[in-house]
Structure 1
Amino acid sequence: MVGWYTNVIRSLGHHRWFATVGRAAVPIDRWLQRKTGGRVTILGRSALPTLLLTTRGRKSGLHRTVPLIYAPDGDGFVVTASNWGQETHPAWSGNLLASADATVSLSGGREIPVRATLAEGPERDRVWPLVTRVWPAYDTYVVRSGREIRVFVLTPR
């Protein structure tokens, strides 16, 4: 059951100012999730399902970690490259297109090696409602960004 706090956060997600604040808070959220083993995020304890996704930089070769909201999909995870509704795709999504192997860190610090697949066509149609159920603002981000937001299915390897 979704609580009032989650409903408030989901409602705020549609506002441009919230996306601006959210983008600025990503480094803090990444640090907080790492320090607490994913048990606490900047939005609170369990307002939304979040994970830390670590990819290999396609240019630098360095590991890059970003906190993301996800939707469960069987044993896997669905994440969106919304970039808070900006016109450009986030760097991590380009990293996944260059190298599909990544790592997901969940609450409690559990790490899962995953393989990413860009959801297209019928698969995208199937998983889009999963992510918008978790974060309805993704529909707003599509309109704001003027682009098709990349959606990835992360399957444990």
Structure 2
Amino acid sequence: MPSSNNEKKEPYRHEVLNEFVSKMDRLFADKPIKGMLQSMDDFFTSSNSGRSFPVEIIETEYAYQISASLPGVKRQHIGIEVLPQAIMIKVKVQDKENSRLGINGFRRPTDWLSRTISLSKPFDDKKINARHRDGILQLTVPKLKGKSISINE
């Protein structure tokens, strides 16, 4: 029986490796549209074989508007961490079957998914507003204004 298990895993490994190589080629061949850090974040979160969640970032003059699509996730299973120049969204995902094997063959009934959103301008971490409704997490992250400096002759 062990050989049949290996036969089942081999096509999956080959498929994952091909997907990884293809994404690496695109990462370095294409000119990044969103900026290098966001392109790298998209690359690494999308290479989890569907184990991530989509995030949309809209930058306005005064704030960042971040929306994460989290259908079926309860508010108490969402964590938001403020980092220097970034926001991390963590989501606790329950494994309903309680039978998935994790790394090293141990059973893991819960798992955490996360996305780190790098922001290009400083923001006011004391005024961040978060709402969760109808499977959508919305964050409003106000930007900090810098001081204006006059130029002498």
- Please report the TM-score for the alignment, with normalisation by the length of structure 2: 0.28
Which structure is higher in RCO with an 8 Å CA cutoff and minimum separation 6? 1
In terms of fraction of residues, the more helix-rich structure is 1
